Amino acid sequence: MSTHIPRKRFGQNFLEDQAVINDIISCIGPQASDAMVEIGPGLAALTAPLLAKLDVLHAVEIDRDIVARLQGRFAPGKLVIHNFDALKFDFGALATQLAPGGQIRLVGNLPYNISTPLLFHLASFAPQIADCHFMLQNEVVLRMVAEPGCADYGRLSVMLQYHFHMEKLLDVPPEAFNPPPKVDSAIVRMIPRPFELAVTDLAGLEKLVAQAFAQRRKTLRNNLKGLVSDALFAELEIDPTQRAENITVRDYVRLANALA
């Protein structure tokens, strides 16, 4: 087949370093019967070694040229391709089909240009996910795993940590890709966590957190003016003179539940 030209609009940077690929597969630990779904298989850097260990692999790929290449390379019963935009794909419906009463495993080198909205989309299917292993921009991974009180801790940290325990596993340099991205990359593992304190209104939590981090240098009192009263801060024993980055996920949930 002719060489595939990476498409900037799809955020395509193809992993080629075999040592890095081997390390990622080792982190994933695929088992033959796993209900596994790869997001953005690209030129099959992860797809091929995954298929060597799995009975079947499902893949979500938006690029029709890549879909054609993959269909020509792998047997349809072995690799099942869903030609969809991952941002609009119903992973919950696929989980119901592949693992009735169970969960799917997600893997992929996620397109960096849509990584944040895609992570939020995937979070909505957390109860039907066993785990995720994703390649992302290192800067995004640091934000995902950041603890309260650190500059990287923000809206992405709070909303994903509500759903998942997350751990950075590997650093991946630009030269592992073709074309090399202009940023460093990393592998992150995401495992859905049982809710220590369940939120009663998820949309309300999302609104609260977005507003709290709207202007990071301002205090909670200023950012949440008109939404949270000083009386409510006092009732929940949350200091309104703190900045958003100093508040734990649990306290954001407590605030959201009180407002709901």
Q: Which domains are present in the chain?
A: 8-192 (3.40.50.150), 202-259 (1.10.8.100)
Contact criterion met (CB below 8 Å) for 16 and 178: yes
The Cα–Cα gap between 119 and 124 comes to 9
- Return the bridge partners of 75, or none: none
Model pLDDT, residue 12:
55
- Residue 9, pLDDT > 60, answer no
Query: From edge to edge, which strands make up the β-sheet containing 185-192?
Result: 79-82, 57-60, 36-39, 104-109, 129-137, 185-192, 164-172
CA separation for the pair 145, 156 (Å, rounded): 9
At position 130, the amino acid (one-letter code) is: A
The answer to whether the CB of 186 falls within 8 A of the CB of 172 is yes
The band of 3, judged by pLDDT with boundaries at 50, 70 and 90, is: low
CA distance 158 to 146: 9
The pLDDT confidence band at residue 81, using thresholds 50, 70 and 90, is very high
pTM: 0.91
pLDDT at 4 over 80: no
pLDDT reading at 80 higher than 50:
yes
pLDDT, one tens digit per residue, over 114-137 is 999 999 999 999 999 999 999 999
67 pLDDT exceeds 50? yes
Average pLDDT over residues 65-90: 95
The reported pLDDT for the residue numbered 195 is: 85
Spatial distance between the Cα atoms of 240 and 175, rounded to a whole number of angstroms: 46
What is the average pLDDT across 100-111? 94
Q: Is the pLDDT of residue 53 over 80?
A: yes
pLDDT of residue 60: 98
Q: pLDDT (tens digit, 9 = 90+) per residue, 182-204?
A: 899 999 999 999 888 999 999 99
CA proximity to 106, closest of 119, 178, 114: 119
The dihedral through the CA atoms of 101, 250, 140, 186 has a sign that is: negative
Separation CA 119–CA 108 (nearest Å): 12
Question: Taking all residues of the chain, what is their mean pLDDT, rounded to a whole number?
Answer: 93
Looking at residue 208, what is its pLDDT?
Answer: 98
More confident residue, 28 or 5: 28
CB 50 within 8 A of CB 28: yes
Instruction: Find, among 140, 160, 142, the residue nearest to 205 by Cα.
Output: 160
- Looking at residue 152, its amino acid is D
* Model confidence band, residue 179 (pLDDT cutoffs 50, 70, 90): confident
Q: What is the pLDDT of residue 128?
A: 97
Question: Residue 13 — very low, low, confident or very high, per pLDDT cuts 50/70/90?
Answer: confident
What are 7's two structure tokens?
């498409």
Helices 155-163 and 115-123, interaxial angle, to 10°?
A: 30
Distance CA 11, CA 160 (A): 22
Picking from 24-38, 150-164, 168-182, which range would have the lowest pLDDT averaged per residue? 168-182
